[in-house]
Amino acid sequence: MGSLVCLMVVGFLSVVIQYTAGIRCQHPWIPFGRNCYYFSSKKQVTFFVAMDACDSMGGHLLEIRNKLEENWISKQIKKKGYNRGVWLGFHDMNHEGQFVSLSSGGGNLCYSNWHQWEPNDAGGEDCVMFIRQTKTWNDLKCSKYLNYVCKK
Ligand SMILES: [Ca+2]
Ligand SMILES: [Ca+2]
C-alpha cells in the first residue's frame, strides 16, 4: 500500500514538473523543476553540519526523489568538481536498515538508487551519500566529510 501511494505521488509530481516552467530562485540558488538548489563550497563537512547549514538557509539537505532529478544533480556535481559526492537527507539512525527522510519527518523513501551491496552498515553507517563516480547511493558514517546540496 505504501509503495502504491509513493507511485501515485511520484506520478503526480512528474506531471506537475512538466507543466511548471521556470521557477525563480534567489542567487546563488539555481532552479530545477519546481525547486531551488544550493551547492556548497568545495569545503567538505559532516552530515550534521550540512543539515544545519541547509536548515539555516531555509531549505533542507538534498533528497533525491526521482531519476530525472538524480541525473541533473549528477551533472551539477561534476561541474562543481566535488570529488566524492554529496550528502543526502536520508538516514537510518532510529531503526537500523529503515531509511527515512529528514524533511518529511521520518517518511519512507519513495525512490532509492543503492549501489550494489549497499546499504551495508559497514561498521555502523547511518547516513546516506550520493556517489559522484557511479551515480548511486551508499550508506556512510555521519561523521565523514562530504560536500552537500540544499533544496527548497
Ligand atoms: Ca545503518
Ligand atoms: Ca555503506
Give tens-digit pLDDT for 65-92: 999 999 999 999 999 999 999 999 999 9
For residue 93, how far is its CA from the centre of ligand 2 (angstroms)?
14
Q: How far is CA 49 from CA 3, 6, 25, 148, in A?
A: 31, 29, 23, 10
Do 138 and 131 form a contact (C-beta atoms < 8 A)? yes
In this predicted structure, what is the pLDDT of residue 1? 45
Farthest-apart Cα atoms in the chain, separation:
45
Q: How much distance in Å is there from the Cα of 125 to the middle of ligand 1?
A: 4
Q: What is the pTM of this model?
A: 0.87
Q: Where are the domains of the chain?
A: 2-151
Average pLDDT over residues 124-131: 98
Question: The domain 2-151: what is its CATH number?
Answer: 3.10.100.10
pLDDT of residue 96: 97
Q: Which residues pair with 130 in a beta bridge?
A: 86, 137
Place of cell 550520493: 130
What does the pLDDT look like over 88-117, one tens digit per residue?
A: 999 999 999 999 999 987 778 899 999 999
Count Cα neighbours of 100 within 13 Å in the Cβ-side half-sphere.
12
pLDDT at 10: 60
Nearest to 3 by CA among 92, 108, 103, 91: 108
Q: What is the mean pLDDT of the chain?
A: 90
- Distance between Cα 58 and ligand 2 center (Å): 29
